[in-house]
Amino acid sequence: MKAAELFDVSGHVAFVTGAASGLGLAMAEVMADNGAHVVMSDIDPDTLESHTRRLAEAGASVEGVELDVADLAALRATIDNAAETRGRLDAVFANAGISAGPSYLRDGGQIDAIDLAKWDEVVHVNQTSVFATVQAAARHMKRQRSGRIVVTSSIAGLQSEHLVGYAYAVTKAAVINLVRQAAMELAPYNVTVNAVAPGPFFTNIGNGRLNDPEAVKAFTDMVPMGRIAEPSELQGLALLLASPAGSFITGTAIPIDGGCTAG
Ligand SMILES: NC(=O)c1ccc[n+]([C@@H]2O[C@H](COP(=O)([O-])OP(=O)(O)OC[C@H]3O[C@@H](n4cnc5c(N)ncnc54)[C@H](O)[C@@H]3O)[C@@H](O)[C@H]2O)c1
């Protein structure tokens, strides 16, 4: 197969959570650039609207839907609506996620200082909502007997990580085992389920923490390649997992981290 054919998702319907910024926006863009219709959802309607308008003006087939993934009923209804309106659902990116605040190296991040209300909030968004996204996608994809589900985990889900908070590390690990479990159930239905496990990327996560010079230095120092990535550098892996090129990849968590997890 030619590269263009391997990565062709034209006519496919993709759904992305947290699509107004960072990695979710990059995922939505690469799917749209390669022919998919993309339903872009986000809790921030204004930023979402500015990106969907920009992409549509450039010729992409995209639509924006305001969605807080913490609202599980709305999450399910939005995914159902995307699948029913378009008559299919080929790829779902369970990407929305939030920071859990400081790591144990910073004030307020030590184990005895963790606020359990904040813990619950992060578990709900990063874990329960990701499960509900996978669940809603699976309902349609089982019936369709095809589909791709991609969960955004982190290298913090693969190993201990001294720069993120407890709930972040725990939830990012949990979704990797969710991916393995769902991949086993859904394999006979020709539905693949994978996680991407990014190292540091320049995005707005943690209120733009990665724009703070001290954080940039700390994250850069942990990367063997000596730099933080741009969101566009995730696009190849996202497209691989959602396109014909990735047809036999399932149940994995693929690091994309400049070498962080190799050492
Ligand atoms: N940036 C990194 O270095 C990095 C590394 C590993 C994993 N990740 C993961 O990547 C994913 C995307 O984060 P990002 O870095 O692009 O951050 P980001 O803040 O740039 O983008 C996240 C988007 O999700 C949206 N969002 C937040 N809460 C939401 C909710 N409850 N419902 C719907 N949308 C919501 C935000 O409005 C924003 O548009 C997250 O799961 C994050 O944990 C990021």
Give the whole-angstrom CA distance, residue 205 versus residue 226.
20
pTM for the structure as a whole: 0.98
Ligand 1 pocket mutation pick from 15, 16, 17, 23 by most atoms within 8 angstroms of CB: 23
Contact of 47 with 20, CB cutoff 8 Å: yes
List the chain domain ranges: 3-257
User: Does the CB atom of residue 23 touch ligand 1 within 6 A?
Assistant: yes
- 152 Cβ inside 6 Å of ligand 1: yes
Q: For residue 157, give both structure tokens.
A: 């889900």
Q: Do 233 and 256 form a contact (C-beta atoms < 8 A)? A: yes
| 3-257: CATH superfamily | NAD(P)-binding Rossmann-like Domain (3.40.50.720)
224 Cβ neighbours under 8 A, 6+ residues apart: 258, 259, 260, 262, 263
| Per-residue tens of pLDDT for the chain, all 263 residues | 999 999 999 999 999 999 999 999 999 999 999 999 999 999 999 999 999 999 999 999 999 999 999 999 999 999 999 999 999 999 999 999 999 999 999 999 999 999 999 999 999 999 999 999 999 999 999 999 999 999 999 999 999 999 999 999 999 999 999 999 999 999 999 999 999 999 999 999 988 787 789 999 999 999 999 999 999 999 999 999 999 999 999 999 999 999 999 98
